[in-house]
């Protein structure tokens, strides 16, 4: 497996693990629909944060 593909698939898998475990353990009595919405919301938040970090690292490369 190529390096980029392995890192990208690892990143996606680990982000899914973090979001699903965090949401399922925190909101214990929520309905499945609400759980899914919260999970997707946290997924978007984490993906945005990671994208911002990636951009920051990319531009730091020009310094």
Partner 1 sequence: MKRGKSAFVPMLISWLIPGYGFMRNGHWKKGLYFFVILELTFLLGAALRGAILIPTFAFRDPTFNLVNILTFITQIFNGGLSVLSALPELFGQSVAILPYEEDYVWADLGNFFLLVSGGMSYFVLVRTWDHFYAEKKPAVERTEA
User: Where do contacts with partner 1 occur on this chain (CB under 8 A)?
Assistant: 6-7, 10, 13-14, 17-18, 20-22, 24-26, 28
- Using DSSP's 3-state secondary structure scheme, residue 48 falls into helix
If the CB atoms of residues 14 and 52 are measured against partner 1, the closer one turns out to be: 14
Min dist CB 61 to partner 1, Å, is 20
CB-CB neighbours of 29 under 10 Å: 6
If the CB atoms of residues 8 and 62 are measured against partner 1, the closer one turns out to be: 8
Per residue, what are the HEC states of 24-56? HHHCCCCCHHHHHHHHHHHHHHHHHHHHHHHHH
If the CB atoms of residues 26 and 37 are measured against partner 1, the closer one turns out to be: 26
């Amino acid at each position: 497996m190529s390096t980029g593909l392995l890192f990208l698939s690892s990143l996606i898998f680990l982000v899914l693990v973090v979001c699903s475990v965090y949401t399922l353990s925190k909101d214990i009595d929520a309905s499945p629909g609400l759980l899914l919405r919260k999970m997707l919301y946290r997924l978007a938040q984490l993906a945005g944060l990671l994208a911002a970090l990636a951009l920051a690292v990319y531009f730091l490369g020009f310094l």
